[in-house]
């Protein structure tokens, strides 16, 4: 009996994990079995991908993997292959709890920080350094000593160091760069030394939160480093930041780590495969059950990359213009900029972390806004070029230096 509303069907669920005996994997398996799911734990390194003009496939020991939903527990060491697998499941129209894009973004601390700050989500001040000579400048930008030096790709507290002298910062940076790492110098939040808040977000909702504390002289508070954990009542401001960070990185399941600073919550990291042992023990909340329920509710749907969809039509794409870079547009109405009423270009205006969709032609632009347009790239350029060129001339900048931010084909 297929397609009858209200009919209960067994959900076929795959948990991608190399550690079937790990606490988090076992708990997800237990909760899925309680819900009468058909569930398998699949080692992602044993799965192969078939790509071509025929129907794409994922194979396990030569047999097609056919499931309704996937929970990825992809370790850092297999990120590349794991992301390729997730991308293939997405192409097959299978619901994946965390997108390939989300996993990639969250694993790269620099990229994640760039995305968060662009969308006004607070983070500690961070500098990407390319040589040890850059350290002195980075120190002044992040507020001086001490600082946190970290690699862009670490996980569970690895590759993170608290440094108290400039000489040590240079020495450590030189060593990490010579080993092929991307190095970040980050502001040290003194009032949050040795502790942070871990928030588990599932499907855009906060399901559990705990405070983690380091032991002894250790400043990293990770549970895997023998830190202690305790349940907390999460303030609304912290919950809001955690939800926004998970959503922005396109993660349905996320562990968001927040620092308790004097200026409010700061996002330290967003984890796409958060451990469940510490937070279930600290809070008594069935986090694994919440994850399984979410996957069962969404297994009939798959995520789609809107940017790719919008690029599928030749000559079309998305263009954005930041009003801060072109101040002549501040105070103008949308109708002043887009004078051709036969062309519907304006997709949205981004303002203070929100989007105003299909703004009226009388909508007033202001500094800090970003106009986001979709349509024929050449026609969008024709409408915007006079304003952009004017702002360039007023600032004595060569027109060749002005670029539209766009994504088209």
**Domain parsing of the chain, residue ranges:** 12-105, 125-188, 194-286, 306-408
CATH superfamily of 194-286: ATP-grasp fold, B domain (3.30.470.20)
| Residue linked to tokens 């995520």 | 303
CA–CA separation, 4 vs 390, rounded Å?
60
CATH superfamily of 125-188: ATP-grasp fold, A domain (3.30.1490.20)
Domain 306-408 has CATH 3.30.70.1450: yes
Q: Is the dihedral of CA 94, 96, 102, 104 positive or negative?
A: negative
Helices (H) then strands (E): counts for the chain:
12, 21
pLDDT by residue for the chain (409 residues), tens only, comes to: 344 444 445 889 999 999 889 999 999 999 999 998 999 999 999 999 888 767 778 999 889 899 999 999 988 888 899 999 999 998 888 999 999 999 999 998 889 999 999 888 999 999 998 887 888 888 888 888 888 998 887 655 567 888 888 888 888 888 888 888 888 999 999 888 888 999 999 999 999 999 998 876 666 655 455 578 899 999 999 999 999 999 999 999 999 999 999 999 999 999 999 999 999 999 999 999 999 999 998 887 666 666 666 667 778 878 888 888 888 888 999 888 887 755 667 678 988 778 888 888 899 999 888 888 888 888 888 888 887 765 544 444 333 333 344 443 3
Task: Evaluate whether 149 touches 99 at the Cβ level (below 8 Å).
Answer: no
78 DSSP 8-state letter: G
Residue 234: which of 256, 262, 263 has the closest Cα? 256
Task: Evaluate whether 215 touches 228 at the Cβ level (below 8 Å).
Answer: yes
Kindly state the tokens that stand for 201. Answer: 């977000």
Kindly state the tokens that stand for 289. Answer: 């059950």
The CB density around residue 196, as the number of other CB atoms within 10 Å, is 23
Q: Quote the pTM value.
A: 0.78
Through-space distance between the first and last CA atoms of the chain, rounded to whole angstroms: 43
Residue 347: which of 380, 385, 325 has the closest Cα? 380
CATH class name, domain 12-105: alpha beta
Task: Evaluate whether 139 touches 185 at the Cβ level (below 8 Å).
Answer: yes
The CB density around residue 144, as the number of other CB atoms within 10 Å, is 11
| Residue linked to tokens 């060129």 | 389
C-alpha gyration radius of the chain: 24
């Amino acid at each position: 009996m297929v397609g009858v509303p209200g009919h209960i069907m067994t959900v076929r669920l795959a948990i991608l994990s190399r550690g079937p005996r790990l606490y988090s994997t076992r708990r997800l398996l237990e909760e899925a079995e309680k819900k009468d799911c058909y569930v398998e734990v699949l080692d992602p390194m044993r799965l192969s991908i078939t790509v071509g003009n025929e129907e794409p496939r994922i194979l396990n020991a030569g047999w097609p993997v056919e499931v309704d939903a996937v929970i990825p527990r992809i370790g850092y060491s297999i990120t590349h292959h794991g992301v390729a697998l997730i991308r293939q499941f997405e192409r097959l129209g299978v619901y994946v709890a965390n997108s390939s894009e989300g996993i990639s973004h969250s694993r790269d601390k620099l990229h994640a920080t760039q995305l968060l700050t662009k969308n006004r989500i607070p983070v500690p001040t961070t500098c990407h350094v390319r040589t040890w000579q850059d350290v002195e400048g980075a120190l002044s930008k992040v507020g001086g000593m001490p600082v946190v030096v970290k690699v862009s790709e670490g996980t569970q507290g690895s590759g993170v160091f608290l440094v108290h002298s400039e000489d040590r910062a240079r020495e450590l940076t030189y060593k990490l760069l010579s080993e092929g790492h991307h190095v970040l110098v980050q502001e040290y939040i003194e009032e949050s030394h040795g502790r942070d808040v871990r928030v588990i977000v599932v499907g855009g909702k906060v399901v559990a939160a705990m405070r983690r504390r380091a032991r002894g002289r250790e400043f990293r508070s990770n549970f895997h480093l023998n830190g202690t954990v305790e349940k907390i009542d999460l303030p609304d401001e912290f919950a809001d930041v955690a939800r926004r960070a998970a959503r922005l990185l396109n993660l349905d399941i996320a562990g968001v780590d927040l620092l308790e600073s004097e200026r409010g919550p700061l996002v330290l990291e967003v984890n796409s495969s958060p451990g469940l042992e510490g937070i279930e023990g600290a809070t008594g909340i069935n986090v694994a059950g919440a994850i399984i329920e979410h996957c069962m509710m969404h297994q009939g749907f798959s995520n789609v990359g809107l940017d790719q969809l919008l690029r599928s039509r030749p000559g079309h794409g998305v263009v954005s213009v930041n009003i801060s870079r072109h101040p002549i547009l501040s105070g103008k109405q949308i109708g002043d900029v887009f004078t051709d009423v036969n062309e519907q270009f304006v997709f949205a205006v981004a303002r203070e972390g929100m989007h105003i969709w299909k703004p009226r032609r009388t909508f007033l632009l202001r500094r800090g806004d970003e106009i986001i347009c979709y349509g024929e790239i050449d026609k969008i350029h024709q409408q915007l070029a006079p304003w952009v060129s004017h702002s360039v001339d007023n600032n004595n900048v060569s027109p060749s230096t002005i670029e539209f931010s766009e994504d088209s084909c």
